[in-house]
Amino acid sequence: MNCKHFFFLVALALPWSLGAQEYRLVWSDEFDYEGRPDEAKWGYEEGFVRNQELQWYQLDNAWCHGGLLAIEGRKEMKANPMYRDGSRDWRESRPNIECTSSCIKTKEKFSMLYGRVEVRARIPIGKGAWPAIWMLGDHMPWPACGEIDIMEYYRRDGIPSILANTCWQGKKGFEQNWITRVYPIEKWMSSYPEWPTEFHVWRMDWDENWIRIYLDDELLNETPLNTTFNESKEYAGVNPFRMPQYILLNLAIGGTGGLETKDDAFPLRYEVDYVRVYQKDR
């Protein structure tokens, strides 16, 4: 038995202490099987989805092998089945698909309210890469549903950066309030140039009062939940972070985050060792 599976079984069998509070593993995927991600745990997005991103999401770009989930961004050219001549919709105005990737999510399969999410992953940092670990509520439309970005990586103002964010609705329908923290990746690479080649642990701790996001136990962002009430007329006074959220893992390419791509960056490989969710005993 390898070390990963040993410690996983210990965590599954026993509660563990965080300060004075006990937490228990309630959901996980160790990706210790072959083939596509477990359909009992994960669904998929398909097509052009958001942020004017370049990739076409499809099933084929996500698979499990050797104890890891791999999500691969590939340079591929094929016809866009959504294309409509003259359309102003960015999804329909592109005659061709130029690259592909995957987004998997636990929507309608698993969601959580409060606890800890821990993900061990190795991210691509090639030009155009936009990997993420994030969460959304499934009870309201975005942004009223709330968004927790446990990890985003992209080139912010041309600077390769790690981001940790929370988002909820502002005064109008698509207006957003954000608490965003941006860290140039040079923060870690200046002392450890091999940082991108290693796996790292992203963590989110969430209770009735705070959301705190960590990278390798270093606090990146904290959001007080007494400030995160939606403001629009339809959802005024609703706090999306006191309602359940589901998990997404994806590798976007280009768009409003990744921006320009570079052909020699492909294929882009995003690897996830595990996703684990812990909650308090009640």
Which residues are identified as catalytic? 147, 152
Q: 164 to each of 74, 117, 167, how far by Cα in Å?
A: 26, 14, 10
**Cα 35 versus chain centre, distance:** 21
Amino acid of residue 235: Y
Amino acid of residue 147: E
Pairwise CA distance, residues 21 & 16, whole Å: 8
**Cα 102 versus chain centre, distance:** 12
Pairwise CA distance, residues 247 & 234, whole Å: 25
Closest residue by Cα to residue 167 from 184, 155, 150:
150
**DSSP assigned state of 210:** E
Burial of 181 (0-12, 13-18, 19+ CB in 10 A): middle
260 and 127 Cβ atoms separated by less than 8 Å = yes
187 φ/ψ angles, rounded to the nearest 5 degrees: -50, -40
Pairwise CA distance, residues 42 & 60, whole Å: 14
Q: Which residues does residue 122 pair with via DSSP β-bridges, in sequence order?
A: 271
Closest residue by Cα to residue 69 from 189, 192, 248:
248
